[in-house]
Amino acid sequence: MADEDEEIVLSELDDADLVQQMHDDLYDGLKEEIEEAVNILLARDWTPYDILTKALVEGMRIVGIDFRDGILFVPEVLLSANAMKAGMFILRPLLVETGAPKVGKMVIGTVKGDIHDIGKNLVGMMMEGAGFEVIDLGINNPVENYLDALEEHKPEILGMSALLTTTMPYMKVVVDTMKEKGIRDDYIVLVGGAPLNEEFSMAVGADAYCRDAAVTVETAKDLIARRHNQLASNG
Ligand code: B1M
């Protein structure tokens, strides 16, 4: 019979077992264990990016599969999300820490009707780490929120996130409203979220679809450089 008192000591696990255990702990929504494990991996000289992608994002991917298949339900997934956020909270200052001069500004928010924010937060963190100033509008944003933020902060980039097939069409509402107001071309519009793809991003009139946070950083840098070159050759 298994000894019920037998506790797993995270610090005694090797890296591979610890990462596996983190996937299990994320699945079980064990916030403190996730925090402890993130700190252990940092002490073992793992990069914040590797901890984020290999332990946390991969763990959340597994949660997503069982959520889809009806094995996990909303309350359980909320606990997983909280544990994930606790891990991200530790990593955030390390990812964001950069002496680099600001390379641009981005306003980002999850669209109206949608409360998923882990992916958006991650994108914000990686963009900050790459030297962008990020204005995060949070979740459930109607078009007015985006427009107000564009006017107030004058960013180069507008980023929108949607995780639901029912909310992703709202991105077109935002882009169409920008067109009506004659301001669409003043901004680079980037969109992302698990159900999106390149074709969808073109259909809603965005400049690019960003598969993940790393791609968002590359795309943002690339499109800003192109814009600068264009302005230089026009002027
Ligand atoms: Co929700 N949920 N959820 N959920 N949830 C999904 C999205 C779902 C695919 C699960 C499933 O069935 N397999 C499914 C959507 C199905 C569909 O639309 N076809 C779903 C559903 C159905 C729902 C509810 C309707 C469930 C219900 O109530 N019955 C409900 C909706 C609530 C609402 O929004 N109105 C709901 C609720 C929730 C929770 C609250 C429990 C929780 C969210 C907690 C939170 O975010 N604070 C939750 C979660 C956690 C998920 C899953 C499991 C994980 C999402 C996540 O955080 N992934 C998700 C399953 C899945 O996606 N496979 C699921 C990790 C994150 C790092 O990845 O968000 O993809 P992701 O972000 C990536 C990229 O997409 C990209 O970069 C990020 C980092 O690399 N990216 C961008 C994202 N946004 C970007 C913006 C950019 C650029 C790149 O701008 C430039």
Residue 2 has a pLDDT of 43
Residue 44 has pLDDT above 70, yes or no: yes
CA of 36 to the centre of ligand 1 (A): 25
pLDDT tens track for 83-96: 999 999 999 999 88
In the DSSP assignment, the letter for residue 182 is T
Q: What is the pLDDT of residue 19?
A: 98
Compute the distance between CA of residue 8 and CA of residue 154 in angstroms, rounded to an integer: 51
Read off the pLDDT of residues 118-164 as tens digits, 9 standing for 90 and up: 999 999 988 988 889 999 999 999 999 999 999 999 999 999 999 99
Rounded distance from Cα 163 to ligand 1 centre (Å): 5
* % pLDDT > 70, the chain: 96
How far apart are the C-alpha atoms of 81 and 64, rounded to whole Å?
Answer: 11
Report which residue type is found at 224.
Answer: I
How high is the pLDDT of residue 232?
80
Nearest CA to ligand 1 atom 66: 119
The tens digit of pLDDT for each residue in 208-227 reads: 999 999 999 999 999 999 98
Closest C-alpha residue for ligand 1 atom 76: 212
Residue ranges of E strands in the chain:
104-110, 132-136, 157-161, 188-192, 208-210
pLDDT digits (tens, 9 = 90+) for 2-20: 445 578 999 999 999 999 9
Instruction: Give the CB-side neighbour count of residue 235, counting CA atoms within 13 A.
Output: 6
Rounded to an integer, the average pLDDT of 14-37 is 98
Please name which of 152, 154, 198, 151 lies closest in space to residue 177, comparing C-alpha atoms: 151
- How much of the chain exceeds pLDDT 90, in percent? 85
Q: Which atom of ligand 1 is nearest to the CA of 120?
A: 84
Provide the mean pLDDT of the chain: 93
Residue 198 has pLDDT above 70, yes or no: yes
Distance between CA atoms of residues 7 and 98, nearest Å:
39
Length of the chain: 235
Residue 82, amino acid: N
Interval 57-64 mean pLDDT = 93
Between strands 188-192 and 208-210, the pairing is: parallel
Please choose, from the candidates 93, 103, 77, 73, the residue with its C-alpha nearest in 3D space to the C-alpha of residue 222: 103
